[in-house]
Amino acid sequence: MKIRAIALNTFKETIRDRILYLLFFFAAIALGISRLLAVLTVGDRVKIIKDVGLASISIFGVLMAILIGTGLVYKEIDKKTINTLLAKPIQRWQFLLGKFFGLVLTLFIMTLAMGLIFLVIVLLHTGKLDSRMLLAILFIFLELVLITAVAILFSCFSTPILSSIFTLSFYLIGHLSWGLETLIQKTRPGTGRMALRGLSAILPDLENFNFKTEIVQGLAIDPRFYLFSALYGLVYTLFILALAVLIFKKRDFI
Amino acid sequence: MAAVLEIENLFKSFKVGFIPKKREILKGVSRSVAAGEIFGYLGPNGAGKTTTLKCVLGLIFPDRGKIEIFGHPPLSAKGKEHVGYLPENPYFYDYLTAAEFLDFYARLFGLRKKDKEDKIATLLRLVGMEKARDLQLRKFSRGMLQRVGLAQALINDPALLFLDEPLGGLDPLGRKELRDVIVRLKQEGKTIFLCSHILQDIEMICDRVAIIVGGRVISQGALQSLISERVLFTEVTLSGIDPADLIDLGEPVSTLGDRILLKVFQEDNIENLIALVHERRGRIHSLVPRTQTLEDIFVEMVRQG
């Protein structure tokens, strides 16, 4: 109940944020441009629309999660709105979860809106819809949920600018960490390889949420991989949230 | 009377600076607040008033010491069920309207829809903000925020109310209105813990006070027992007398036209003064005995402390 009240308030806060609409505006333009790019392309035009479209949803969704998420907790502390809130009978973890779910709800609506525009463009161009497209969008959303948790974690102890840089780094590392696998294979067995293995275990692998290529190219995906990716997202998000709660629990609000 | 708030030997320090240096803010504060009283907690800026409050409300963690609100530790939700808090310079979610803001806080206490609407309407009326109900808080002036702040502190009908500089930022009329509200709340049986450095306000409404200077409570007790009834001096305004004749009787403070304001320190001199005015056919416009005020005590203690 209390988490819901805070989540609802956070939803109001984020949905009234101008940055959100600015990003949404650009996302809509990018989606429109995908249609334009298709016209200029030789070859399979539908693939270009799908590829650019899904990438736009992903990139603008991540920007929304980072730019809004990193300010959520910091603003409350900076403007001292948190003082009256925590003087009410709520626990600190309830506050954090409320903030998290509030932004997740906003991102859900935004992903839905961007997804709709995308699907309409695809439908207008091809005259049919591939249900796997929805799956691709769903996994983009799951990635956004994880990014939101990371943004909130950094927002617990750092300024929005620094938190944005940290979260963006997390996102970039997450999408490039698969490169480590190649490095591990090329390294001789020994301490070096062990260290790289350790690093690869800790670093996030956000490519787990990326089904764009397979779906756009119409390749088959093992259903177990969907399940693994969803579980991976859930466990990683819970881990990050738990870390945020631990840090937040000990904070003094001066 | 039973104590609703117990603070025992509270210590708190902060680390400040690039190379962290420990700075002690509270150095062993102990207090007990009884049910149904208005308790004034006063001290100069930076004395540790707000820090004490934040420790009590679980916003910061004391280094040492014990705090109990209705017998519960400060972080427990049970203790906070019956507590209201108005911070200093309140600032709230500026994207919400006054009604939305109160609705949000009412939800945190699980108020039912009907009760919630009634409560919000009553509170907005109480603080004189019913016209600003649907106005976004970003358009509020400081005084308006203060009023809405008091309304949010009362949303759960608290038994214990913490007010940090509640009359700051208000115009004279607003101060009077809010002071009346506070007194009315006391009459309803609420306990009020009031932090302030505006002594006049405290003097008017508090039952008991504690004075904190440099992180230590240096004096506490009932207001009457702190302030003596002894007349310090008498202020006399008179006219029609040559100032030179008054030098032996008191200390002339100012002259406005032919009116002279005189401070008379000895009671015998007042009778002599009246006799003199009578004899010279002058006039006495006012004669005000000045007893010790909280301000006198405060200034004296802060200087000593």
pLDDT digits (tens, 9 = 90+) for A23-72: 999 988 988 888 888 778 777 778 888 888 899 999 999 999 999 999 88
The mean pLDDT value for A132-149 works out to 92
Would you say residue A170 lies in a domain?
Answer: no
pLDDT tier for residue A139 given thresholds of 50, 70 and 90: very high
Pairing type for strands B83-86 and B21-34 reads: unpaired
Angstroms from B282 CA to nearest CA on chain A: 60
Residue numbers in B near A4 (CB within 8 A): 107
Asked whether the predicted pLDDT for residue A110 surpasses 90, the reply is yes
Asked whether the predicted pLDDT for residue A238 surpasses 90, the reply is yes
B79: nearest CA partner in chain A: A89
- Shared-domain flag, residues A65 and A92: yes
- Shared-domain flag, residues A63 and A156: yes
Would you say residue A254 lies in a domain?
Answer: no
Burial of B175 (0-12, 13-18, 19+ CB in 10 A): buried
Angstroms from A250 CA to nearest CA on chain B: 8
Would you say residue A38 lies in a domain?
Answer: yes
Asked whether the predicted pLDDT for residue B2 surpasses 80, the reply is no
Asked whether the predicted pLDDT for residue B233 surpasses 70, the reply is yes
Q: What is the largest CA-CA distance in chain A?
A: 63
Of B59, B77, B107, nearest to A83 by CB-CB distance is: B59
The answer to whether the predicted template modeling score (pTM) of the entire model surpasses 0.90 is no
Q: What are the tens digits of pLDDT across the range A66-87?
A: 999 998 889 888 888 899 999 8
Of B86, B108, B156, nearest to A5 by CB-CB distance is: B108
- Shared-domain flag, residues A195 and A104: no
Q: Check residue A170 and give its pLDDT.
A: 93
Would you say residue A144 lies in a domain?
Answer: yes
Of B57, B92, B107, nearest to A87 by CB-CB distance is: B57
Distance CA A150, CA A171 (A): 9
Residue numbers in A near B95 (CB within 8 A): 12-13, 16
B6: left (phi over 0), alpha (psi -120 to 50) or beta: beta
Cβ-defined contact of A8 to B107 (cutoff 8 Å): yes
Asked whether the predicted pLDDT for residue B1 surpasses 70, the reply is no
Residues A247 and A157: beta-carbon distance below 8 Å: yes
Per the structure, the count of domains in chain A is: 2
Q: Check residue A201 and give its pLDDT.
A: 82
Cβ-defined contact of A13 to B95 (cutoff 8 Å): yes
Cβ-defined contact of A84 to B96 (cutoff 8 Å): no
pLDDT tier for residue B229 given thresholds of 50, 70 and 90: low
Would you say residue A171 lies in a domain?
Answer: no
Residues B117 and B152: beta-carbon distance below 8 Å: no
- Shared-domain flag, residues A80 and A106: yes
Strand partners, B7: B31, B67
- Mean pLDDT for all residues in chain B: 86
What distance lies between CA B103 and its chain's CA centroid?
28
Pick A244 or B256 by higher pLDDT: A244
- Shared-domain flag, residues A90 and A192: no
- Shared-domain flag, residues A140 and A219: yes
Selected residue of A2, A6, A84 to mutate for chain B interface (largest B Cβ count, 10 A) = A84
Distance CA A176, CA A13 (A): 33
Tell me the residues of B at the A interface, defined by beta carbons under 8 Å apart: 14, 54, 57-61, 75, 77-78, 80-81, 83, 85-87, 89-93, 95-96, 100, 104-105, 107-110, 149, 152-153, 156, 162
A83: nearest CA partner in chain B: B59
- Shared-domain flag, residues A144 and A182: no
| From A212-226, B75-89, B258-272, the region with the lowest mean pLDDT | A212-226
Residues B170 and B162: beta-carbon distance below 8 Å: no
Distance CA B256, CA B195 (A): 38
- All domains in chain B, ordered by first residue: 3-226 (3.40.50.300), 231-304 (3.30.70)
Q: Which two tokens stand for residue A162?
A: 């620094």
To 5 degrees, how large is the angle CA A76–CA B198–CA B93?
A: 20
- Shared-domain flag, residues A11 and A26: yes
Distance CA B151, CA B241 (A): 55
Asked whether the predicted pLDDT for residue A216 surpasses 80, the reply is no
- Shared-domain flag, residues A158 and A193: no
Q: Check residue A251 and give its pLDDT.
A: 86
Q: Check residue B289 and give its pLDDT.
A: 86
Asked whether the predicted pLDDT for residue A95 surpasses 70, the reply is yes
Cβ-defined contact of B104 to A87 (cutoff 8 Å): no
Would you say residue A159 lies in a domain?
Answer: yes
The mean pLDDT value for B4-19 works out to 86
Asked if A18 is an interface residue toward chain B (Cβ–Cβ < 8 A), one would say no
pLDDT tier for residue A141 given thresholds of 50, 70 and 90: very high
Angstroms from A125 CA to nearest CA on chain B: 41
Q: What are the CA-CA distances from residue B256 to residues B240, B251, B252, B253, B260 (Å)? A: 12, 15, 11, 10, 6
The mean pLDDT value for B127-131 works out to 89
Q: Check residue B305 and give its pLDDT.
A: 64
DSSP B235: E
Pick B203 or A60 by higher pLDDT: A60
Q: Calculate what percentage of chain B has a pLDDT beyond 90.
A: 22
Phi, psi (deg, nearest 5) at residue A145: -60, -45
The mean pLDDT value for B208-212 works out to 88
A251: nearest CA partner in chain B: B60
Q: What are the tens digits of pLDDT across the range B35-84?
A: 889 999 888 888 888 899 999 888 899 998 999 888 888 777 788 888 99
- Shared-domain flag, residues A106 and A160: yes
| From A230-239, B110-119, B156-165, B218-227, the region with the lowest mean pLDDT | B218-227
The mean pLDDT value for B147-157 works out to 92
Q: Check residue A59 and give its pLDDT.
A: 92
Distance CA B78, CA B2 (A): 18
- Shared-domain flag, residues A103 and A199: no
Note down the domain range covering A73: 2-164+210-249
Q: Check residue B237 and give its pLDDT.
A: 92
A72: left (phi over 0), alpha (psi -120 to 50) or beta: alpha
Q: What are the tens digits of pLDDT across the range A155-188?
A: 988 899 999 999 999 999 998 888 888 888 888 8
Selected residue of A21, A75, A90, A252 to mutate for chain B interface (largest B Cβ count, 10 A) = A252
Asked whether the predicted pLDDT for residue B106 surpasses 80, the reply is yes
Distance CA B235, CA B251 (A): 10
Distance CA A37, CA A41 (A): 6
Q: Check residue B296 and give its pLDDT.
A: 78
pLDDT tier for residue B199 given thresholds of 50, 70 and 90: confident
Q: Check residue A193 and give its pLDDT.
A: 86
- Shared-domain flag, residues A183 and A107: no
Asked if A33 is an interface residue toward chain B (Cβ–Cβ < 8 A), one would say no
Residue numbers in A near B23 (CB within 8 A): none
Q: Which two tokens stand for residue B248?
A: 């032996």
Asked whether the predicted pLDDT for residue A5 surpasses 80, the reply is yes
Would you say residue A51 lies in a domain?
Answer: yes
Cβ-defined contact of B152 to A252 (cutoff 8 Å): no
Asked if A2 is an interface residue toward chain B (Cβ–Cβ < 8 A), one would say yes
| From A59-68, A216-225, B39-48, B98-107, the region with the lowest mean pLDDT | A216-225
Would you say residue A33 lies in a domain?
Answer: yes
Residue pairs spanning A and B at CB distance below 8 A = 79
Torsion (CA) A106, A109, A112, A118 in degrees, nearest 10: -80
Of B59, B77, B149, nearest to A253 by CB-CB distance is: B59
The mean pLDDT value for B263-291 works out to 88
